[in-house]
């Protein structure tokens, strides 16, 4: 149990840090210019917190724990990248299919971003948990 908690915390810190850099940089460069008034005037913290809590648990379950079972850092990174690709593609392609005027450029930026940031979170969670846990 201690290893899972350490993996969760390390994954969360890494994922949130890297994602915060992306969001703070890209909000005014990508999202706001393309989505404009579709964006809420103020950030709603509650759903964001719920997303991060659930998604980080998913990263630990699908990427970090298999890697800790002996498959190593490469497995954590690969499983994290695949999970991120699937999750972010689900979000963006659903928006692409169902929302009026969803910009293709956001989809094309978000999907590789999701793969990258999830791989980083999974790798960090594995590295810390394998050394401390």
Give residue-wise pLDDT tens across range 52-71.
999 999 999 999 999 999 98
How do residues 103-124 score in pLDDT, each as one tens digit? 999 999 999 999 999 999 999 9
Instruction: Tell me the average pLDDT across 31-42.
Output: 89
The separation between CA 52 and the C-alpha centre of its own chain, rounded to angstroms, equals 8
Instruction: Provide the 8-state DSSP code for 64.
Output: I
What pLDDT band is residue 133 in, cutting at 50, 70 and 90? low
Tokens matching residue 62 = 């699908």
- Share of residues in the chain with pLDDT > 70 (%): 99
Q: How many structural domains does the chain have? A: 1
Give the dihedral sign, CA 72/76/81/83. Answer: positive
* Domain range enclosing 37: 1-132
Q: What is the pTM of this model?
A: 0.95
Q: How far apart are CA 50 and CA 53, in angstroms?
A: 5
């Amino acid at each position: 149990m201690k290893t899972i908690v350490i993996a969760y915390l390390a994954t969360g810190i890494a994922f949130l840090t890297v994602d915060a850099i992306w969001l703070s940089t890209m909000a005014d460069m990508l999202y706001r210019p393309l989505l404009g008034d579709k964006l809420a005037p103020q950030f709603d913290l509650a759903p964001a917190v719920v997303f991060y809590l659930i998604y980080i648990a998913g990263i630990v379950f699908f990427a970090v724990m298999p890697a800790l079972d002996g498959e190593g850092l490469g497995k954590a990174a690969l499983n994290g990248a695949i999970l991120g690709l699937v999750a972010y593609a689900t979000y963006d392609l659903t928006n692409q299919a169902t929302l009026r005027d969803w910009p293709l450029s956001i989809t094309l930026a978000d999907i590789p971003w999701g793969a990258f940031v999830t791989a980083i979170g999974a790798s960090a969670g594995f590295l810390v948990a394998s050394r401390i846990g």
